[in-house]
Structure 1
């Protein structure tokens, strides 16, 4: 088992110049650089992009549907790393409304779990093929209210890693906590991000930033 060392890649203009942060959380086996490459397909010229790198290229060792204890201490370490990033952004005078998240696969699971544990009015959540973490979702971990935060959550049906039932449960919980959720389930879609998903993400980033 492992904890994460702080490794951060950034892209774009400085935060003091943009006033808007997009945190990009990569999937299992991937890199910060790989998730940052999505910037080529998104309207992020006026965002500062921040992508943490997981130790061992994985945020936690087992499936997100495994008992939470099996994924410790890596899971808590990953959540703490994101929290430190968010706190650092807030300390620079940036509102939580100007903080956006994008995650794919394992990174999407981590994104939804972190956001639910620290619910507030974020700029938006882009959850590409992921859901809340644990063998059973432990709602006692979740605090705050999203206060209308826009959320896009997508998955394939079936997906080899993410059951549609967990995505549905995640949508319900995020909505109960005040998020405005757009869910899209693609029949027979492979474990990837489609152009249509990027187009929806682009719309959210443009509308929320206006």
Structure 2
């Protein structure tokens, strides 16, 4: 199971008024995803990057029945919940907590915020969708209250069908998120400069 191993960077929590929680992808690491921060205007943020056991949050595709990815999926969601609680305990309010994830980390990020919807600072999901063989909307609670959420993806993508991205965006919108979705033809499984520019403009604009 996952244990809470978190790399911290950026401002100390006592000094920062905003926090960014960064979730790495399958085969990636906390160090990898932290490297993205150099492209974002987050110098005044406290940065938190949890590390998955064996560099993967759950063993199978995010499109597998959730029970096949247990207990890893629930454990991964619990780690993020603990990180959020730690950030809140440091005095940073929920509307100043931001999330970013890539690939498996983007799927996990979207699943976490949908299950715990409230007014966050913003969410950037680079190539991801809500988790499951179908979307289990009964698991999702709360209201985003206008939280800006960005989802970018390639069409096609080898891991994330564009249909799941569209369906995920619809559900998040119904929960009153301000969703911006961008689909790039044949981009490949990566993050491009337009995505970075878009999240900087839409999500990190006030920093």
Class of the TM-score when normalised by the shorter of the 2 chains: over 0.9
Give the C-alpha shift of residue 93 in structure 1: 2.2
**Residue 143 of structure 1: aligned partner:** 141
| Partner-residue secondary structure (3-state), 2:181 | strand
Q: Check the 8 A contact 1:65/1:133 in 2, yes or no.
A: yes
Q: Does 1:114 align with 2:112?
A: yes
Runs of at least 5 residues in structure 2 that lack an aligned partner in the other structure: none
Structure 2-normalised TM-score?
Answer: 0.98
What TM-score, normalized by structure 1, do the two folds share? 0.97
Looking at structure 2, the residues matched to 89 and 38 of structure 1 have their Cα atoms a distance apart, in angstroms, of: 20
Moved over 4 A (4+): none
What residue ranges of structure 1 are gaps of 5+ in the alignment?
A: none
Whole-Å Cα distance in 2 between the matches of residues 166 and 174 of structure 1?
12
Map of 1:22 onto structure 2: 20
Query: Which residue number corresponds to residue 105 of structure 1?
Result: 103
- In 2, Cα distance between the equivalents of 1:157 and 1:205? 23
Q: Determine the structure 2 residue equivalent to 1:72.
A: 70
Higher deviation after alignment, 88-97 or 140-149: 88-97
Partner of 1:153: 151
Match for residue 57 of structure 1?
55
Aligned residue pairs: how many?
A: 207
Label 1:208 to 1:131 Cα distance change in 2 as closer, same or farther (>3 A).
farther
2:185 is the counterpart of 1:190 = no
SS at match of 2:15: helix
- In angstroms, what is the RMSD of aligned CA positions? 0.9
